[in-house]
Structure 1
Amino acid sequence: MPALFAPSLARSALSRTLGRPRTAASSATALLHTTSTPSANVSPLIGTGPPPEPPVPSPEAVSAQSRVARRRRQAEMLRAARTFRDGSDKIKTVRKRFWEHTSVKEVDGLLQVFLDARPLRHPTTKEIVRLPRTKHALATALAIEWDQLSSAQDTTKAHLLPLTSLVCRALDIAADDARATPTIRPTALPLLLRYLDTDSVLCWAPEPEAALREPGASLREMQREAAEPLVSWLSQRVWPGARIEPVLDSDSIIPRRQDTATRALVQQWAQGLDAWDFAGLERAIISGKSFLVAARLVSEWSSSAGVLPDGEVQSFTADEAARVANIEIDWQTQRWGEVEDTHDVEKQDIRRHYGSVVLLVSGSKE
């Protein structure tokens, strides 16, 4: 068929199709193209069903969260305690202290601290705390310590009563020395002598290598500068003839014991101290881990075992003792920085302990 008649034939076929019912044959004849229509490609639905389970935290995360929650509760409790102490409303569960004023009085030639009309008593033996008449500064400080307490519960907190515990320790030693067979001093002295062989002042750092040396004084130079005058003072005034050597020197890692003669001389001196000086020596050694610093502090400030001639002023104060005992810590903090609420608290704590020792052993002359 000629191509000229193709459109007319298509129109006539379309008119015939519209004029009669559609059949399979007629539908097939109505197609104007030869390619089949592609069917739709339906994608499967994704995400059907219940949602996934939430992630489970690791044990480390749970531990960290519980630790943070515990610290928040502790901070809240501390804040509530401060609010209570500063506020006027008193919680009924916290008993107010049963005294209003503290005072120091002399009774039968001895000093006593009074809480209103009640004398201060030993927490264990219940004996009245009596101080020598020469220790008026100690009695006054003891009264101030009890005047700082705000409730009856504070009397059971040892960290609020450091001076009271030190005085009671001295009274216990004095009572034990009066017995036929003392036990406190013979038990404590060998333990204290161990610090002579591991004294923090005598543990010197090795000399830094030339390539690693930094400007300024090295740690070893600072330690020697603090230790040598201290050793010289003790060897001349307290333990004549004693030879005190560094316990850690050069590259050694094992402490070196002092010689037998020096140990015997130091032991004889400590054994001859009275109860007040021995208690002060014990507290100072344990606080600063230095037998030499404690011995210098007691020897210079003691009213009974002091070695200073009349008119000479004490130069080894509690601050100086804390500085000598903390040479290495101060060097580290100057180099790497200070940890807040750690280094600063420890520095004040050791100053407090050394200051309490000075109050304990010092006193006026008879």
Structure 2
Amino acid sequence: MKAFQRAIPALRPCHLGRGLQVQQGPHRHARLVHSSTTKAAVAHPVNVSGPPPKPPGSTASPLRKRFWKDVHVKEAAGGHQIYLDSRPVRTPEKKVLTVPSSKPHLAHAIALEWDLLKTAQHATKYHLIPMTSITGRAEDIAAEDAKGVTTIRDEITRVMLRYLETDTLLSWAPEKEPDYVGRSEEKRETLREKQIKAAQPIISTLVSTVWPGVELKPTLDANSIMPLPQPRQTIDVIRGWLSSLSPYDLAGVERAGIATKSLLVGARVVIEWSENFRHLRPSGASRTFGIEEAAHASSLEVRWQTENWGEVEDTHDVEREDLRRQLGSVILLVSGCSS
């Protein structure tokens, strides 16, 4: 240690002018090196039988606990409210969630969602409360309508018209399909033919009952990957239709359109099941366009790919069921007792 200290040159002051001095090098009382040797950890033998102790956990958060026991629906002025014991379910804006009187089935579906939650933290995950989230979205639109504000409506309209530019129902595969290895020699229906077959009835219904005189053109040419714009009149008519929808129907079109990547499929689901469009259905006629039909029309390309190349487990099957779940939530949202 002394030899090491002798090797260090003498510290000299550094003159900065006007009497200021800075001592160069370490402080004279500073310890320059550690003279003690390090000690390695000693692993003691385990003499206790049984499983190892559990690792220390964090303090339980209130969100990890379910603070309610019972969930029930109460009739209130203007509709139905869902209660967790004595606490009403509220929207993210802190407003008590009130479901219209014509939709008791929707209120009970929301109550069932909350009854199935294990912790309060699960209420922050939208995929566990799809009915609550979509109803809250509709109520937010209704609240803006009451104030004369159209922020949410304008945003939904903008997004839905963007989906129309590359609508799944109008984006057809090229006419000529490549020759894949292992394909059967017998002639079969091409993907483009399947897409046209599924799209025609939906388009026919929309242009005859909802948007009379509107022309819906295929987004892709027979051998092109560049989308073609819809006629200006078509866009203007659909924009006006979206702006005229009720809050619940607009929220339904938004969720169905995003889930299927198709404004046309979303519109078709809503007019088939909404209580506000019952005048478009013949009296006593059964509904012909539901969850399965909408899922089939919007996922033909995925089904065609899996038939040729196989299905990816925990991916294609999960997406297929999630699509049906979201379409089902739309039907519950827009339908009512009067429909």
Q: TM-score scaled to structure 1, two decimals? A: 0.72
**Once superposed, which parts of structure 1, at least 4 consecutive aligned residues long, lie more than 2 Å away?**
91-96, 208-215
Question: Equivalents in 2 of 1:92, 1:184: separation in Å?
Answer: 38
The residue aligned with 1:294 is 266
Range 148-157 or range 284-293, more displaced: 148-157
Out of 245, 259, 264, the position equivalent to 2:231 is 259
Out of 163, 168, 183, the position equivalent to 1:200 is 168
Structure 2, unmatched stretches of 5+, are 1-58
Q: CA deviation at 1:293?
A: 0.3
Question: Equivalents in 2 of 1:269, 1:283: separation in Å?
Answer: 17
Q: CA deviation at 1:257?
A: 1.0
Amino acid at match of 2:237: L
C-alpha contact (below 8 Å) 2:172/2:218 kept by paired residues: yes
The residue aligned with 2:43 is none
The residue aligned with 2:245 is 273
Amino acid at match of 1:325: S
The residue aligned with 2:322 is 349
The residue aligned with 1:283 is 255
Structure 1, unmatched stretches of 5+, are 1-90
The residue aligned with 1:314 is 287
The residue aligned with 1:242 is 214
Q: CA deviation at 1:227?
A: 0.6
Cα deviation per residue 1:220-255 (whole Å; 9 max; x = unaligned)? 111011011111111111111111111112111111
Out of 92, 101, 111, the position equivalent to 1:143 is 111
Cα deviation per residue 1:26-46 (whole Å; 9 max; x = unaligned)? xxxxxxxxxxxxxxxxxxxxx
SS of residue matched to 1:178: helix
Q: CA deviation at 1:186?
A: 1.6
The residue aligned with 1:305 is 277
Q: Which has the higher helix share?
A: 1
Range 200-209 or range 218-227, more displaced: 200-209
Question: Equivalents in 2 of 1:158, 1:180: separation in Å?
Answer: 28
Question: Equivalents in 2 of 1:109, 1:193: separation in Å?
Answer: 33
Amino acid at match of 2:313: E
C-alpha contact (below 8 Å) 1:273/1:305 kept by paired residues: no
C-alpha contact (below 8 Å) 2:78/2:98 kept by paired residues: no
Question: Equivalents in 2 of 1:233, 1:151: separation in Å?
Answer: 45
Question: Equivalents in 1 of 2:148, 2:208: separation in Å?
Answer: 35
The residue aligned with 1:216 is 188
Q: CA deviation at 1:160?
A: 1.1
SS of residue matched to 2:122: helix
The residue aligned with 1:129 is 97
Q: Which of structures 1 and 2 has the bigger CA Rg? A: 1
Describe the shift of the 1:211–1:349 C-alpha distance in structure 2 as closer, same or farther (beyond 3 A). Answer: closer
Out of 87, 90, 99, the position equivalent to 1:118 is 87
Out of 43, 57, 75, the position equivalent to 1:106 is 75
SS of residue matched to 1:284: helix
Q: CA deviation at 1:303?
A: 0.6
SS of residue matched to 1:131: strand
Describe the shift of the 1:210–1:131 C-alpha distance in structure 2 as closer, same or farther (beyond 3 A). Answer: closer
The residue aligned with 1:8 is none
Cα deviation per residue 1:252-288 (whole Å; 9 max; x = unaligned)? 1111111111111111111110100001111111111
C-alpha contact (below 8 Å) 2:110/2:132 kept by paired residues: yes
Question: Equivalents in 1 of 2:297, 2:155: separation in Å?
Answer: 28
Question: Equivalents in 2 of 1:277, 1:191: separation in Å?
Answer: 16
The residue aligned with 1:363 is 336
Out of 291, 294, 298, the position equivalent to 1:325 is 298
SS of residue matched to 2:283: coil
Describe the shift of the 1:230–1:180 C-alpha distance in structure 2 as closer, same or farther (beyond 3 A). Answer: closer
Amino acid at match of 1:357: V
Q: TM-score scaled to structure 2, two decimals? A: 0.77
The residue aligned with 1:231 is 203
Question: Equivalents in 2 of 1:155, 1:190: separation in Å?
Answer: 29
Question: Equivalents in 1 of 2:105, 2:124: separation in Å?
Answer: 24
Amino acid at match of 2:136: C
The residue aligned with 1:180 is 148
C-alpha contact (below 8 Å) 1:196/1:292 kept by paired residues: yes
The residue aligned with 1:15 is none
- How many residues are aligned here? 276
Describe the shift of the 1:210–1:105 C-alpha distance in structure 2 as closer, same or farther (beyond 3 A). Answer: closer
Describe the shift of the 1:211–1:104 C-alpha distance in structure 2 as closer, same or farther (beyond 3 A). Answer: closer
Question: Equivalents in 1 of 2:221, 2:332: separation in Å?
Answer: 35
